[in-house]
Structure 1
Amino acid sequence: MPHSKAIDKTKIIGDYKTHDTDTGSCDVQIALLSARINHLTEHLRANRKDFHTRRGLLAMTSRRRKLLSYLRKNDLSKYNELLQRLNLRK
């Protein structure tokens, strides 16, 4: 049974890809993780006792943080642009 607010992976990949066959660059991975994190955050607001989902959410945020630190270390301009596009840091 599909969720009403499912994540549209093809749209996200299309928005953040760097070339035509790009599906796994840092930008795409961070954008997909951010979408899933936002989706699970909404789920946890409604289901406060869902600790299994909370554990998965913590793992995803950790993975996103590692990818962001890698991107900051290797390409600072792309890192800053991605933060702006995803509204991650104020």
Structure 2
Amino acid sequence: MLDKKTKQRVIGKFKIHETDTGSSQVQIAILTEEIKKLIEHLQQHKHDHSSRRGLLKKVGERRCLLKYLQKEDEKAFYELAKELKLKIAKKMIEEEQEKLRLEQELLARQEAKIKLAAEENSEEIKNKSNSKKEDEK
């Protein structure tokens, strides 16, 4: 749990508007600070399993908020990830880029198949018209 001053400092740094305390960016920043505090605590108290469970829960919650922010406002997501220096955001960005690359490959294959089918179809039409002309002669 963060102390009041730290929480207010984080809110002040990441707020979108004057009365903002609950936007995704602010929530992610607060969770990041809490995660940092828990990591420090766990380095000193290695057998504190309940704190470890709390850490995992906070990391999962932050991941969900990051996915939401990436989906809703990609520019804000990249800015926040850069500001907070999040490794998870880098991984999410790489996964998204890989997904886009695979989709582009799939589209290219489908376009190639369509083009090939169109060429075959046009050749069949030419062959039919040529055979009709020969039949007429």
TM-score by structure 1 length? 0.91
Q: 2:63 aligns with which of 62, 65, 76?
A: 65
| Superposition deviation, residue 53 in structure 1 | 0.3
Alignment-derived partner of residue 52 in structure 1: 50
Larger Rg: 2
- The structure whose residues are more often helix, as a share, is 2
**Deviations, residues 34-65 of structure 1 (Å, cap 9, x unaligned):** 00000000100110000000000000000000
Alignment-derived partner of residue 24 in structure 1: 22
Q: CA RMSD in A?
A: 1.5
Number of aligned residue pairs: give it. 86
- Superposition pairs of residues 28-47 of structure 1, within 5 angstroms: 28-47=26-45
Q: Could you list the runs of 5+ residues in structure 1 that have no partner in the other structure?
A: none
Distance 1:35 1:15 in 2: 12
Q: What amino acid does structure 2 have at the position aligned with 1:80?
A: Y
Q: Could you list the runs of 5+ residues in structure 2 that have no partner in the other structure?
A: 91-137
